[in-house]
Amino acid sequence: MAIFEGAGVAIVTPFKSDFSVDYDRFREIIEYQIANGTDCIIVCGTTGESSTLTHEEHLDCIKFCTEVVNHRIPVVAGTGSNATDTAIYLSQEAEKYGVDGLLLVTPYYNKATQNGLIKHYTDIANSVKLPIILYNVQSRTGCNINPETAVYLAKNVENIVAIKEASGNISQVAKLMSLADGCIDLYSGNDDQVVPIMSLGGKGVISVVSNIAPQFMHDMTRAYLDGDVKKACDMQLKSIELCNALFCEVNPIPVKKAVELMGFCDGYLRMPLTEMEPQNVERLKKAMKDFGIEF
């Protein structure tokens, strides 16, 4: 049984002017997501600026999100780290809060060999009982999960059940799924590749776009899951310019601006992320208007 099917939102973390977490706005964002069809909330991932949260803030955000959602939809907590012991600590604490799964990014900066990845993920998985989604995003971490490694983990570690593939390498994803033969669930980590990845057996997407168009992303994945491939494909193509605008600067700078434009938060980013360039703000506004998003 998959943790979720459809479109899960890689949710932003709103900050106040003093850069503390704005829990009132966070609640509003969570409620907006649930009211507009999001199938799962992924809290404290890349888009949630987890890399600049203290451990206490990180865990507080996970606990808060889980309490607000209150089992209405699944909650997956990002608890990955480049230090295995830290990932174990965060994962064990998140499990206490009642999350439905964990998202574990590959070690960054220090990276790891494929054998190191197997040991890293096995140790974390053995420390908890929750289902785990591996997160492969080499462009940000410098570390790739080879298809053979992902399949080995899925077959040998009971609670490693899925992978978020954000490598952008469709050929690698195809090889993974051919080797897996159904032993691992697949989620797209790139909003512009949702339908292609679902055509290879994907269950859906962990989405940045869902922050501002949750119903659309839900409907697109639902159309594919229901067998209306043409509708899903048409929706995917309609979303491409919005996807491009949301990634014209490093994520989550553009989506934080988009959420601000929609009135859900004040758009504050923690350093080293900085304010979006004016010309890119205009590009984002145009893409949102052309897509039909009101702000």
Q: Which residues are annotated as catalytic?
A: 135, 164
Token couple for 87: 């990932």
Place of tokens 């859900």: 264
Strands (E) in 16-81, as ranges, are: 40-43, 75-78
Q: Where are the alpha helices (DSSP H) in 70-213?
A: 84-96, 114-126, 138-141, 147-156, 170-180, 194-199
User: Residue 132 — φ and ψ, nearest 5°?
Assistant: -120, 135
3-class secondary structure for 213-255? Answer: CHHHHHHHHHHHHCCCHHHHHHHHHHCHHHHHHHCCCCCCHHH
